[in-house]
Structure formats: structure tokens, C-alpha cells
Amino acid sequence: MKFSVSSSDLLKQLQLAAGAIGSNPVLPILEDFLFTVSPNKLTIAATDLETSITTSIDVRSDGEGTVAVPARILLDTLKQLPQQPVTFNVNDDNFGIEITSSFGKYKLAGENGADFPRIPEPDSVDTLTMSAQSLSQGITKTLFATSSDELRPAMTGVYFQVDFNKITFVATDAHKLVKYTFSEDIKSEVMSNFIVPKKALNLLKNALPSGDDVTMQFNKANAFFSFGDTHMVCRLIDARYPDYNAVIPTENPNNLVVSRGDFQSSLKRISIYANKTTNQVILSMNDGSLTISAQDLDFSNEATEQMTCTYEGEPITIGFNAKFLIEMLGVLEGDEIRMELSTPTRAGIIIPDEMPDGEEILMLVMPVMLSN
């Protein structure tokens, strides 16, 4: 079989699919792309057995069939070619591939496409449609809070809670927690929940188009995401998600309202002086003023800053990991944030002072015990 295609268009699709190729695959064929040629269409697939991406592109073809093409050498070749038509000629007997460009010929050894692992197809699935922008936002606002602890697999992904026309994304690593709820433009007739792994969500976030809708289908084992000519499948994490509502404190009599940008900048400066292992900063709040300080006794470094704020409640001094606070403030939008606290040993809640209609976000951060 034989087909011709623009080198830059092909490279773009290959780079999208390449995200699914693992760094040290269990089978040699997983280092390849699966090319499936049908009349005037090339379908490209890649998988690491957990996450698979399939995308397609229009080509001029002669004959049809499948071949597994070594990914690394093909990507490296196309990156070095200026945009131009390239022709692939595949020997159906030994799967040898010859690529012809305006500069010359390149030969590489392919493998039998029939040996490539089968990519799961949607089977007895529930379906949900939402805008790509909303899905991207849900991933961006929660992904940073997932855990890397393989001993707690549930926390290494983002928990999706689908409740008819509302979807909640939750991520936690036991030190911080983010809960983001979205209820605009969602079409669904089901209630369900599942945990999507971090790698798949990172790939999805980078691949999502800006204007389209995404169709999300899911069953007990897999989630399927479709947009444009691209389909992504990932195996869900088979674990029970912790009861996150139980850890969100409801009685928080102490309330701080402060400028998000100023607070974040101050934390970035103060954290330079914090102990490098704990990243501990101390927040002291009383009527109208917030003092942020840190010290590293090992090196005799310390810093203090004071900023104006609106504060209601008893004076309180509480320690937090500056890295977590900076990360959370970077994900939030809006000019001001509200921090709700009860005691120096209980979690603090951070919420933006204003949110667009149909969106809610709550962030929770555990305090660092103060060493007096």
C-alpha cells in the first residue's frame, strides 16, 4: 500500500498521538504507531496499554492495510523536513517502509500491524457532553493537587462525580484538596463517578481544542473522550475514593479577605527565607492586618511582611506550607480570595470572592504544626 500526505500535517497528528507512548514499554511494538490506511484516510494509533490515542488525517492513498511504524525515527525525520508532501510506500510482505520526500528516500523497518494491541472500543457506556473549555478548566484547576503516592492509587487521579447536568472534579494528596463543580452546558442523563489517572488527564488537557464540545463515555473499566478526529481511551483507576466531604470543616468563624495577587507575591518572597524541607510560613491575622513570616533556623534566615486585609474573628496564628498556598492562588482567578479558618490545627479553606455563574471551587489546605 502507498499514501501521500503533507509532512507538517502528519507531524502534528503524530505528536498528539505520541503522548500515549510510554518511556519504557513492556512490548517492543508499543514503541510504534499503528498506521491504518483506508481509502483517502490514515488513522494513527498509539498506546501504553493504559492510555490510547487515535487520530486521523486525510491522505491520498492507493491500497489499504495496517503497519506498525517505529515512532522515534519517524518523528525525528519529519521534524527535520520543511513542509512538503511525503509519500509512504509499504511492502505488504515484510512491512518495510520507504518514505520519499523532495530531498530523497528513507527506509525503515515496520512491523505487522496485526500484532499491535487492540484498542478498547466503547461498550455499554454512559455518555456525557460538555465544552472542551470547561473540561480543560476542570482538569487544570484540580490536577496539581493529585498525589504521587502509588500506595494510595485512588489519590493519584482526579475523581469525576457526574450528577446529571452537573460535574464535580476532586483531587487530593491528603495535604491539600480541590473541589471544582461545573453546571453549565453539560448534557448527561446519568449519575456516576470514576477516577481518571493523572497521565491521561495531562495528555487530554494538551490535546483539547478550544472551541469544540467533547463527548465523554465511560463504563466500569475505561473512559473514552472524543473531539474532532481524535479519540482517547484510558483505563480508570479501580479504587475507592476517600470521603472528601468528611474532611471539609463546616464551622469556620475566622474569615480573612485579601488581594489574591498581593498575597501570592508576598508568599513567594517570604518563602525564600523558609526552611527548605517544610516550606513553612506563618500567618498571623488580627483586625485589618495580616503578617506573613518565615524563618530558617539552620541558616539564621528570616523575613516578615505585613499587608492590609479584611478580617473577622479572633486573632489567630497558623502555619502553612508556602508551596501549597502559592500553587493554589496561581490556579484561582479573581482579584480577592477568602480564607476561612477555625483553629491553628484544623484545615483552612480558600475560595475566590467571586465566581462565574454555574461554577464553584473550594480549596482546602492542611496546616503545618507550629514549633514554638
| pLDDT (0 to 100) of residue 371 | 61
Q: What are the b/e assignments for 1-12, b being 16+ CB within 10 Å?
A: bebebebeebbe
Report the C-alpha gap between 250 and 99 in whole angstroms.
Answer: 64
Cell numbers at 15, concatenated: 505528536
Query: Is the residue at 77 inside a domain?
Result: yes
- Summarised one tens digit per residue, pLDDT across range 335-345 is 999 999 999 99
Query: Is the residue at 370 inside a domain?
Result: no
Query: Is the residue at 132 inside a domain?
Result: yes
**Does residue 130 share a domain with residue 240?**
yes
Report the C-alpha gap between 75 and 69 in whole angstroms.
Answer: 10
Flag whether pLDDT at 323 surpasses 90.
yes
Domain final residue pick, 47, 82, 115: 115
Please count the structural domains in the chain: 3
357 in Cβ contact with 134 (< 8 Å): no
**Does residue 86 share a domain with residue 189?**
no
Q: Return the top range by mean pLDDT from 97-101, 121-125, 350-354.
A: 97-101
Flag whether pLDDT at 184 surpasses 80.
no
If you average pLDDT over residues 66-84, what whole number do you get?
97
Domain final residue pick, 245, 271, 296: 245
Is the whole-model pTM more than 0.95? no
Query: Is the residue at 121 inside a domain?
Result: no
Judged on CB neighbours under 10 Å (0-12, 13-18, 19+), 336 is middle
| pLDDT (0 to 100) of residue 286 | 92
Average pLDDT over the chain reads: 94
Specify the length of the chain in residues.
Answer: 372
Query: Is the residue at 150 inside a domain?
Result: yes
20 in Cβ contact with 41 (< 8 Å): no
Query: Is the residue at 179 inside a domain?
Result: yes
Domain final residue pick, 82, 115, 148: 115
CA geometry: angle 140, 320, 138, nearest 5 deg:
10
Reported as a pLDDT band with limits 50, 70 and 90, residue 120 is very high
The range of the structural domain enclosing residue 313 comes to: 248-365
CATH number assigned to the domain comprising residue 83: 3.10.150.10
**Does residue 171 share a domain with residue 84?**
no
**Does residue 177 share a domain with residue 72?**
no
Flag whether pLDDT at 133 surpasses 60.
yes
- Summarised one tens digit per residue, pLDDT across range 266-318 is 999 999 999 999 999 999 999 989 999 999 988 999 999 999 999 999 999 99
Least confident of 3-12, 315-324, 351-360: 351-360
